[in-house]
Amino acid sequence: MQRDELMVLKETGHKGDFLLPFVVVNTIMPDFYTTYPMHWHDEMEIVYVESGEFEEYIDLEKYHVRQGDIILVDPCTLHSFRNIENVRTKFRTLIFNFNMLTSNNTDACSIKYFTPFLDKMYISPIVISPDAPHYSELLECIRSLINAYDNKNNFFEIKIKAGLFNLFYLLFSYFLEPEIKETSVKDNTTRNIKTILDYIDENYMNPITIEELAESVNLSKHYFMRFFKKYMGMTCIEYINDYRLNIATNLLLTTGLQITEVAAKIGITNLSYFNRIFKKKYNMTPKEYRYNIDNRK
C-alpha cells in the first residue's frame, strides 16, 4: 500500500468536506491495519469487497463478508471490522452525509424517502451478495461513484450527486423494506454502547477507569464489565487499548512526534506498556512500524 493511501485510511475523521461531504476510502488488510474498533457516526457507509474476506460487526451482529459482497451501514449504526488471519483483503468504502441529498427546501424526496429512511422507518439489508436479485445494477452504480471520485474529471461533483440519487432509487426499488420497530431492550443496549464509546472518544487521552465508564450509563461495575464483553466481544480495557493504538498509528504516520510523546498523546504514560500492547497488535514495535511505513514503496 502506498503511503498516501495509508494516510487516507488512517484519517478516521475524514468524511469529505462542506462542499462535497463524500469520500471513497481504500482499505487493504493486513498491511499494517488489521482491525477498526467499534464506532458510529452520522454518515452512511457502503462497502464493496473487491477481494478477500473479513469479519464485520454491525449493530451488535457479526457478519462474515466475502469478495463481491456489498455492505450497507446506515447512519448512526454501531460497526467495526476485523481481518481474518492469513487472508489479504481489499475493500472500498463510500462515506457520505445525507446533506448531499436533502435540501433546505422540503420536497417529495425528503418527505417520502430520505427523512423516513433517516428516522429508521425502512430497514436495509446488511449484506448484499452477488447472487441477490438486482445486484449487478447496484454494483454498476457503486463502481460509477468510485470511478467518478477517483478520477475527478470535469463536473465530477454533479456525477457523484446524480449517482447517489440513482443509488437510492435502486435501494428503495429493490432492497429496502418497511421497518418493524425494534424492542426497547435493544434500543437501550445500543444507546448505552454509544454513550460508552462517546465517552472513550472524548477522554482517551486521559486515564479512564471502569468505574467512571459504568457510571456514565448508570450500571454497577460488575454488570458493566459483563455487559461490555457480551456486546463488544472484548473487555473494556482491550477496546480502549485498541482505540488508542489506532490513533497512535496515525500519529506515527503523520507526525514527527517521539514515541514517548505519541504514547502520552493517547493517555499512556508507561512506555514499556505502550510498546508491549503495540507489538501484540501489530507484531512490531512503534519504532519499527514507523520505519516500515516510511520505507514502504
Peptide bond into 30 cis (omega under 30): yes
For position 32, what pLDDT does the model report?
Answer: 63
The answer to whether residue 11 scores a pLDDT higher than 80 is no
| pLDDT band, residue 6 (cuts 50/70/90) | very low
Q: Is 209 helix (H, G, I), strand (E, B) or coil?
A: coil
- Asked if 56 contacts 152 with a C-beta cutoff of 8 angstroms, the reply is no
The Cα–Cα gap between 293 and 295 comes to 5
Average pLDDT, the chain: 88
23-27, 51-55, 141-145, 183-187: the lowest-pLDDT one: 183-187
Closest CA to 120 of 157, 155, 75: 75
The Cα–Cα gap between 8 and 15 comes to 10
The Cα–Cα gap between 154 and 200 comes to 42
The answer to whether residue 279 scores a pLDDT higher than 50 is yes
- For 172, residues 6+ apart whose C-beta sits below 8 A from its C-beta are 113, 122
For position 10, what pLDDT does the model report?
Answer: 37
**Which cell numbers hold the place of 277?**
500492547
| pLDDT band, residue 105 (cuts 50/70/90) | low
- Asked if 96 contacts 23 with a C-beta cutoff of 8 angstroms, the reply is yes
Average pLDDT over residues 20-34: 86
